[in-house]
């Protein structure tokens, strides 16, 4: 499907049933992940892991009216419009598809971790077993067949929705208007433009920071400097030094003047 | 016909080991990282496995970090401050040297070269460059390798271009350095093999140093018969 798509997580609707997490594991055939020991918490995993590509993160806050809130935030790849991971990948192993999905090509991935270092959302994780980078692929294979990604498909609360980009934007706007009417004046759509917009859009009842989102998230400039300046410069400098040295050697050989340092006495005048 | 040639002791054994360990680790570090730099070197990953080369890069990195620290602490402890003072000194003789020196690159002998000390102006610039590159490599390399979770992502992302920039400059400088040692002044190369250089070479290229050794009575010479 060549159409640009988007997913929406409506935090006000999420009940943290975590069916999305299970559906993701089923579709991608990912094993159970016991990396976070149970210490009495409700949140299943501390962070995303190489085999947990989506996670319901739980945050707590008390609003200005003194009301306690327990919020559930679906954490996963944001599928940026200007993906730093793809830009920073030395092997061009990460593609941004027409649907908006940003997908790692496991065949090409060498596990260098540049995507991990460059991602403004701390999403990709290197799988130590396969030495490949891993993350949510927005079920790009399902999208190509016209099917909704597994997480959105399974969501019973309509907290997750998947549709063409403009449609999702419209739904998000409506939901924010509803939330404002319900007494959440700070309600907003989280779609940071610093990363070229995202294809994983959130409807937030409060300011982004409350949920650990940075409204200023942006694709780092450093990666452009690396790819467009430092790397070409290095090739130029390396090749230049080699060619230069060969040229000098050739001139030296042709002009044929051998140094006379071999003399016992050398050149006294120097 | 054989003749006797006088050699002067120039480098300590420890310094020679330090130099070669640094040189070999630098080139292996360079090679193990090349596949991330250009696809022309991807065959190295295909031949040895990406993970193997990345692990090797880490191990070599540790050697690259420890080598100068160990060398400075053990073999050059007494001379650290002299070295730093030497390297940071830059006077009008150095300027004159740098202006006249390029002719040597094509085998000419510039006239009126000022007398040079233990290191000439160009060598001292190289030492300073290498020291800065080492620092750049170590800070950026360690941050990328171990910085996750400790150092802000914004800083970490800048370490990728910094690390590469150090490699750019380091490789170009190394090529120039090798050419000078093998092509231009093969006598200086001897100093990195057994620590001695021909007296004639020393007087020609490092007259100030030889003068000061003679004055202090510290000149150590070796006679060798060559055919």
pLDDT tens profile A55-74: 999 999 998 788 899 999 99
Q: Give residue-wise pLDDT tens across range B107-131.
A: 777 777 777 778 877 788 888 899 9
Residue B79, pLDDT score = 67
A14 is in an annotated binding site: yes
Mean pLDDT, to the nearest integer, of B139-167?
91
Cα–Cα distances (Å) from B81 to A101, A189, B31, B85, B88, in that order, read 57, 60, 34, 6, 11
Residue A263, pLDDT score = 42
Mean pLDDT, to the nearest integer, of B143-167?
90
Residue B1, pLDDT score = 62
- Answer yes or no: are the C-beta atoms of B211 and B115 closer than 8 Å: yes
CB–CB contact B172 A118 (8 Å): no
Distance (Å, whole) CA A220 – CA A121: 11
Residue B13, pLDDT score = 83
- Answer yes or no: are the C-beta atoms of A202 and A9 closer than 8 Å: yes
% of chain B beyond a pLDDT of 90: 34
Task: List CB contacts of B173: < 8 A, sequence separation 6 or more.
Answer: A241, B126, B129, B130, B133
Among the listed residues B164, B137, B34, the one whose alpha carbon sits nearest the alpha carbon of residue A231: B164
CB atoms within 10 A of CB A135: 25
Residues forming beta bridges with residue A68, ordered by sequence position = A62
Structure pTM? 0.84
Residue A94, pLDDT score = 97
Q: Give residue-wise pLDDT tens across range A70-97.
A: 999 999 999 999 999 999 999 999 999 9
CB–CB contact B200 A122 (8 Å): no
Q: Higher-confidence residue: B81 or B21?
A: B21
Mean pLDDT, to the nearest integer, of B160-166?
94
B3: confidence class by pLDDT, cuts 50, 70, 90: confident
**pLDDT at position B157 over 70:** yes
Range from A153-162, B55-64, B80-89, B195-204 carrying the lowest mean pLDDT? B80-89
Distance (Å, whole) CA A198 – CA A78: 6
Tokens of A221: 């400039």
Tell me the chain B residues in contact with residue A258 when contact means C-beta distances shorter than 8 Å.
107
Residues forming beta bridges with residue B223, ordered by sequence position = B6
Tell me the chain B residues in contact with residue A125 when contact means C-beta distances shorter than 8 Å.
none
Domains and CATH numbers, chain B: 3-226 (1.20.950.20)
Nearest to A242 among B161, B175, B199 (CB): B175
Q: CA torsion B160→B166→B168→B174, rounded to 10°?
A: -150
Residue A137, pLDDT score = 97
Distance (Å, whole) CA A79 – CA A101: 6
Residue A259, pLDDT score = 47
3-state secondary structure chain B: CCEEEEEEECCCHHHHHHHHHHHHHHHHHHHHHHHHCCHHHHHHHHHHCHHHHHHHHHHHHHHHHHHHHHHHHHCCHHHHHHHHHHHHCCCHHHHHHHHHCHHHHCCCCCCCCCCCCCCCHHHHHHHHHHHHHHHHHHHHHHHHHHCCCCCCHHHHHHHHHHHHHHHHHHHHHHHHHHHHHHHHCHHHHHHCCCCEEEHHHHHHHCHHHHHHHHHHCCCCEEEEEEC
Among the listed residues A179, A196, A200, A198, the one whose alpha carbon sits nearest the alpha carbon of residue A188: A179
How many residues in total does chain B contain?
227
**pLDDT at position A120 over 70:** yes
The H-or-E segment that residue A69 falls in is: strand A68-75
Tell me the chain A residues in contact with residue B201 when contact means C-beta distances shorter than 8 Å.
261, 266
Tokens of B186: 């093969």
Q: What does residue A32 show for φ and ψ, rounded to 5 degrees?
A: -60, 145
Q: What is the CA radius of gyration of chain A?
A: 26
Nearest to A241 among B3, B176, B207 (CB): B176
Distance (Å, whole) CA B126 – CA B137: 16
**pLDDT at position B152 over 50:** yes
Q: How many interchain CB pairs under 8 A, A with B?
A: 143
Mean pLDDT, to the nearest integer, of A142-171?
96
**pLDDT at position A178 over 80:** yes
Residue A261, pLDDT score = 43
Mean pLDDT, to the nearest integer, of A102-111?
96
Tell me the chain B residues in contact with residue A242 when contact means C-beta distances shorter than 8 Å.
175
Mean pLDDT of chain A: 90
Residue B110, Cβ density class (10 Å: 0-12 exposed, 13-18 middle, ≥19 buried): middle
Residue B191, pLDDT score = 84
Shortest Cα–Cα distance, A253 to chain B (Å): 8
Residue A56, pLDDT score = 97
- Answer yes or no: are the C-beta atoms of B156 and B147 closer than 8 Å: yes
- Answer yes or no: are the C-beta atoms of A189 and A200 closer than 8 Å: no
Residue A267, pLDDT score = 37
Taking CA–CA distances from B164, the nearest residue in chain A reads A230
Q: Give residue-wise pLDDT tens across range B45-100.
A: 999 999 999 999 999 999 999 999 988 887 666 667 777 777 777 777 777 777 77
CA B67 and chain centroid, separation = 13
Mean pLDDT of chain B: 85
3-state SS assignment for residue A193: helix
What ipTM did this prediction achieve?
0.80
A266: confidence class by pLDDT, cuts 50, 70, 90: very low
Residue B89, pLDDT score = 77
Mean pLDDT, to the nearest integer, of A164-176?
97
Taking CA–CA distances from B108, the nearest residue in chain A reads A257
Tokens of B24: 């070999």
Nearest to A234 among B37, B176, B199 (CB): B37
Cα–Cα distances (Å) from A74 to A9, A52, A152, B62, in that order, read 7, 12, 11, 40
Nearest to A261 among B169, B175, B187 (CB): B187
């Amino acid at each position: 499907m060549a159409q640009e798509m988007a997913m929406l997580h409506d935090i006000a609707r999420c009940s943290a049933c975590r069916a999305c997490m299970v559906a993701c594991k089923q579709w991608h055939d990912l094993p159970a992940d016991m990396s976070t020991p149970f210490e009495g918490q409700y949140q299943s995993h501390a962070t995303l892991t190489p085999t947990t590509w989506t996670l319901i993160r739980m945050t707590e806050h008390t609003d200005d009216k003194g009301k306690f809130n327990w919020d559930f935030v679906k954490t996963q790849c944001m599928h940026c419009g200007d993906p730093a991971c793809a830009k920073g990948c030395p092997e061009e192993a990460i593609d941004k598809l027409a649907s908006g999905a940003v997908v790692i090509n496991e065949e090409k991935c060498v596990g260098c971790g540049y995507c991990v270092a460059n991602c403004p959302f701390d999403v990709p994780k290197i799988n130590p077993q396969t030495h490949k980078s891993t993350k949510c692929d927005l079920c790009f294979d399902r999208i190509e067949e016209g099917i909704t990604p597994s997480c959105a498909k399974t969501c019973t609360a309509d907290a997750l929705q998947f549709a063409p980009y403009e449609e999702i934007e419209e739904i998000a706007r409506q939901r924010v208007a509803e939330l404002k009417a319900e007494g959440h004046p700070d309600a907003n759509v989280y779609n940071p433009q610093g990363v070229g917009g995202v294809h994983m859009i959130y409807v937030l009842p409060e300011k982004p920071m409350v949920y650990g989102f940075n409204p200023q998230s942006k694709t780092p400039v450093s990666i452009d400097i690396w790819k467009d300046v430092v790397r070409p410069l290095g090739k130029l400098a390396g090749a230049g030094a080699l060619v230069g040295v060969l040229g000098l050697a050739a001139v030296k050989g042709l002009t044929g003047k051998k140094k006379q340092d071999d003399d016992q006495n050398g050149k006294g005048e120097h | 016909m054989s003749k006797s040639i006088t050699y002067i002791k120039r480098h300590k054994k420890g310094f020679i080991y330090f130099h070669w360990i640094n040189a070999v680790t630098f080139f292996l570090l360079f090679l193990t990282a090349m596949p991330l730099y250009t696809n022309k070197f991807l065959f190295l990953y295909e031949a040895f496995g990406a993970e193997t080369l990345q692990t090797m890069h880490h191990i070599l990195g540790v050697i690259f970090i420890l080598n100068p620290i160990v060398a400075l602490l053990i073999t050059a402890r007494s001379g650290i401050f002299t070295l730093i003072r030497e390297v940071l000194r830059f006077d009008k003789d150095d300027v004159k040297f740098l202006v006249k020196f390029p002719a040597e690159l094509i085998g000419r002998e510039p006239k009126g070269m000022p007398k040079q000390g233990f290191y000439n102006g160009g060598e001292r610039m190289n030492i300073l460059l290498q020291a800065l590159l080492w620092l750049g490599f170590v800070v950026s390399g360690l941050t990328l390798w171990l910085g996750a979770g400790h150092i802000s992502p914004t800083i970490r992302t800048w370490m990728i271009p910094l690390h590469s920039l150090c490699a750019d400059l380091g490789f170009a400088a190394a090529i120039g350095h090798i050419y000078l040692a093998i092509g231009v002044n093969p006598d200086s190369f001897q100093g990195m093999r057994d620590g001695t250089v021909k007296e004639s070479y020393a007087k020609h290229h490092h007259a100030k140093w030889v003068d000061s050794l003679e004055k202090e009575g510290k000149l150590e010479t070796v006679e060798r018969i060559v055919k």
